[in-house]
Amino acid sequence: MEKAALFFKKLRRTFRKVMRPIKKTAGTVGTALLCVFLVAVLSITIIGSAFTVYIVNLMEGTSEVVLDNVSSSYTTYIYAQDSSGEWIPYDILTSEGEKRIWCQLEDIPEMVQDAFVYSEDERYWSHDGVDFQGILSALYDTITGFKRGGSTITQQTVKNLTGDKEVDHFGGIARKLREVYRAVQLEKKYSKDDILETYLNIIPLNNNIYGVQAAANYYYNKDVSELSLAEAVSIAAITRSPYFNDPITHPENNRERFEIILNLMLENGVISTVEYDQAMNEELHLIGSMSYAKTEDNQKIDASQLSAYDNFDDVSSYYVDSVINQCCDIFMDKYGITWEEAYEKLRSGGYEVYTCVDLDLQKKIEEKYLDYYTFSEDGNHDVPQSAFIVMNYSGQVLAVVGGIGPKEAPLCLNRATQSARQPGSAIKPLASYSLAIDKDIITWSTRFLDVPLLIKDTSMENGYGGAWPRNYSTTGAYRTSWSKDFNFTYQCLQRSLNTTAAQIVELLTPAACFEQLYYKLHLDTLVLYKDGKTDVARSPMSVGALTEGVTLQDMAAAYQIFGNGGYYYDSTFVTRILDNSGEVVYNHRYTGEMVLSESSAYVMNRLMETVVSGSRGTARKAKLDGVELIAKTGTTQDWNDLWFMGCTPEYVTGLWIGHDTPKEIDTDNCYGSPDMWSNIFKDIAENEEIKTFKPSSDVVTREFCTVTGLVAGENCTSTSTGYYKRTNIPGVCSGEHLGDNIPSGTTVIVTDGVDTDEFEQMTGEHYNYRFDILN
């Protein structure tokens, strides 16, 4: 026992000797390890604190996302009525050409919703805005540079609304943190349905298409409510990579994604095996063009049906451009903003704009303007430019085309509404004849001598004054002399004699004519005084030599008065505008202003009818079969502009021909205005339901003496029929015609300071001279 005890004692002594240095070493290492541990803890604490401060600062600087006004900052619809009277979208306006059509969630079928949920975020209904598995994947993707989806529908909604899409390195991490924070906050404030509705309306789906409604419209020419399961899934399949999953340009990629989504929907029990099989086997009929609506018989309307322009999806029609410009003018006046601000407000404000367009008529006119044979016998492309406008007798513009050939860009020059040109003789019914008829100064058979005024005015021809004006010949050259014959009022208008117009303006005074045009007929491009020039003068009021010209739209609006009993209505492309809440922003007032008595308007109507039916009428080549046409042509100095203003019982039309930079029109290369008008509108006009103009009960017909212009008496052997206001019927002819000679005492209107000897020497005749009245 003692030996054993001694042995263990020695063993313990040896063990202590051995362990002494080990303990010493272990103490040193332990201390070091403890220090390392403490340093690590301290570092992590510091880093964690700094990161916490960074996160707090980041969150404080991150604005919350709101959904309240998303739909109001959206697509503006431009509506037209189809042939059945149903309002259908004619065009849509969005910022930067994007196609966006807002659709309420209840109008989006559940299977469409499911297709997107199981394409992008199958746990959407259970998470609180963030799928942390997806977040980790996204962070990993950011670090490694590998791209794949990981965000929830809520996060994608945040990203699409904020435009916060940075993905590189630390910027990508910061963006992801902001996105997570915003997504969580969004789900606290809004319901899942609210978020899903927003998502389904803003998701990009290639080709500048945003949202399921616009996508259904573009890819399948359908409303979203009409989509089949297969069609819905094919659209949902676009989302991960819109360009490469486009079902039209990359059908294989789309199909691969399509099958993944369909399988997920089946696995999650939202579709049956029967539905799955039907969708897998359905043949898709893709369109790839914006469709706008369906008619009552379920016939779809796409761009090719609404416009003759192949590129209507991109460039819009001249009519749509005119609507946009009018809306901008309305907004500028209403809100006191610039045109650019008004245009952006219109594009992004979610307005509903209701127009006056006749879709069928608009397309027909467009087709005519795309065909060069409309303008020349051989279809020569080297023709002047042209514009055409059609309106009804309440000022509603039904169709407009602003140029020959394909339309290349939206909001390009519209020569019908934006080009002010001199109207030439087309001004005569407005400025002189109608006013003189209305004031009972002239009648149907008032006699006018085809001689000029003798004017002492150094601003007129030849620099020293003299005989003015000269008449145009039908070939475009000035006549070197005047016929010196008498013509009745209707003959003067038929032949568009400049001398007669000048004489009537002299009777009325240029100031009275200007007042009629500017204040009553609203030709507001006329110049009262500018840079030493004025339109209150003989030449502008007599032959249309206006300082700055007039637009075709304004001329057509003025010509309404000859077919509606003397009423002027403001021309308009727009009937009303509603904002995104349905409140009326603008309602066009159809309040006509009587600027000409009904009887005067009808006498003018009959006078202008002879311009078409008369043997020497300047518009005789445009005569219609079975439908009345009243018209006036116009030619400007140096043959720079040709006009044709034509009114049928249903339509007011205007045609302009010329070069954008004024120069002489080579009529060998193009038709004249009556032929051109006939090529454009004859087939349309001859199909009108109303064939004749409504007569006035205050206008009577009388036989007049073709020698004196008085009502024919018993001894008058040569008579013709004229139209007269009951208030202004000429006296009865005595029958003393002195053979075929003109009675003595013939008068000529001259201006103050005339050298009558010089005048008689020029004409070779002797006359009486007056300053106030013709007969």
pLDDT per residue as tens digits for the range 309-344: 988 877 889 999 999 999 999 999 999 999 999 999
Measured between alpha carbons, how far is 111 from 686 in angstroms, rounded to an integer?
Answer: 52
Of the given ranges (345-349, 411-415, 718-722, 751-755), which has the lowest mean pLDDT? 751-755
- Provide the pLDDT for residue 764: 60
Asked which of 69-73, 90-94, 354-358, 544-548 is least confident by mean pLDDT, the reply is 69-73
Q: With 70 as the cut, is the pLDDT of residue 16 above it?
A: no
Task: Give CA–CA dist 708/641, Å, rounded.
Answer: 36
> Is the separation of the CB atoms in 544 and 537 below 8 Å?
no
Whole-number Å distance between alpha carbons of 609 and 632: 9
Task: Return the percentage of the chain with pLDDT > 70, whole number.
Answer: 77
pLDDT-wise least confident of 58-67, 177-186, 504-513, 555-564: 58-67
Indicate the Cα dihedral angle 183, 189, 192, 196, nearest 10°. -70
Helices 212-220/192-202 angle, 10° precision:
40
**Type of residue found at 596:** L
The residue ranges of DSSP E strands in 296-449, in sequence order, are 300-302, 352-358, 385-391, 397-401, 447-449
Find residue 630's DSSP bridge partners: 647
In this structure, of 113-122, 380-389, 475-484, 559-568, the range with the lowest mean pLDDT score is: 475-484
Write the DSSP symbol of residue 191. Answer: -
Contact (CB, 8 A) for 273 and 311: no
Query: Helix, strand or coil for residue 587?
Result: strand
pLDDT in tens, 146-193: 444 568 988 888 888 886 655 554 455 666 778 888 888 888 889 999
Lowest-confidence range among 132-136, 274-278, 453-457?
A: 132-136
Contact between 437 and 699 under an 8 Å Cβ cutoff? The reply is no
Residue 772 has pLDDT above 50, yes or no: no
Minimum mean pLDDT among 25-29, 165-169, 572-576: which range?
A: 165-169
Structural contact between residues 302 and 289, judged by C-beta atoms closer than 8 angstroms:
yes
Q: Residue 471's pLDDT is what?
A: 85
Q: Kindly report, residue by residue over 410-449, the tens digit of the pLDDT.
A: 999 999 999 999 999 999 999 999 999 999 999 999 988 8
For position 140, what pLDDT does the model report? 59
> What is residue 658's predicted lDDT score, i.e. its pLDDT?
97
| pLDDT score, position 229 | 97
Q: Six-digit token pair at 750?
A: 């001259």
Question: Is pLDDT above 90 for 302?
Answer: no
pLDDT for the residue numbered 83: 85
| Strand, helix or coil for residue 554 | helix
Q: What is the pLDDT of residue 279?
A: 96
Which tokens hold the place of 720?
Answer: 């013709």
Within 10 Å of residue 474's Cβ, how many Cβ atoms?
11
| Least confident among 222-226, 349-353, 467-471, 713-717 | 467-471
Res. 768: pLDDT tops 50: yes
Residue with tokens 């996060």: 155
pLDDT the model gives residue 476: 43
Q: Which residue has the higher pLDDT, 310 or 614?
A: 614
User: Residue 465 pLDDT > 60, yes or no?
Assistant: no
Task: Tell me the mean pLDDT in the region 228-243.
Answer: 95
Least confident of 341-355, 471-485, 506-520: 471-485
| Diameter over CA atoms, the chain | 184
* Residue 134 identity: G
Q: Residue 748's pLDDT is what? A: 55
Which one-letter amino acid corresponds to residue 68? Answer: D
When the pLDDT of each residue in the chain is averaged and rounded to a whole number, the result is 85
pLDDT of residue 61 exceeding 50: no
Q: Is the dihedral of CA 481, 484, 489, 491 positive or negative?
A: negative
- pLDDT of 474 reads 46
Cα-flanking dihedrals φ and ψ of residue 414, to 5°?
A: -105, 105
**How far apart (Å, rounded) are the C-alpha atoms in residues 686 and 731?**
39
Handedness of CA 730, 731, 733, 736 (dihedral sign): negative
Q: How confident is the model at residue 760 (pLDDT cuts 50, 70, 90)?
A: low
What local confidence, expressed as pLDDT, does residue 577 receive? Answer: 98
Distance CA 369, CA 362 (A): 11
* Contact call for residues 261 and 232 (beta carbons, < 8 A): no
**Which residues, in sequence order, are bridge partners of residue 655?**
388, 644
Beta strands per DSSP E along 215-308: 291-294, 300-302
pLDDT at 303: 61
Please state which of the ranges 157-171, 388-402, 605-619 shows the lowest mean pLDDT.
157-171
pLDDT at 148: 43
Determine the residue type at 357.
Answer: V
pLDDT(763) > 60: no
CB 523 within 8 A of CB 568: no
d(CA 239, CA 257): 10
CB neighbour burial string for 590-619, b if at least 16 within 10 angstroms, e if fewer: eebeebbbbbbbbbbbbbbbbbbebeebbb
State the burial class of residue 561 (Cβ atoms within 10 Å of its Cβ: 0-12, 13-18, 19+). buried
More confident residue, 99 or 361: 361
pLDDT, residue 675, reads 97
pLDDT of residue 314: 78
- Give the bridge partners for 29, in sequence order: none
* H-run or E-run covering 48: helix 2-60
Alpha helices in 121-204 (DSSP H): 132-144, 153-162, 169-189, 192-202
Give exposure, 756-775, as e/b (b: 16+ Cβ within 10 Å).
eeebeebbeeebeeeeeebb
- Alpha-carbon distance of 563 to 240, in angstroms, equals 61
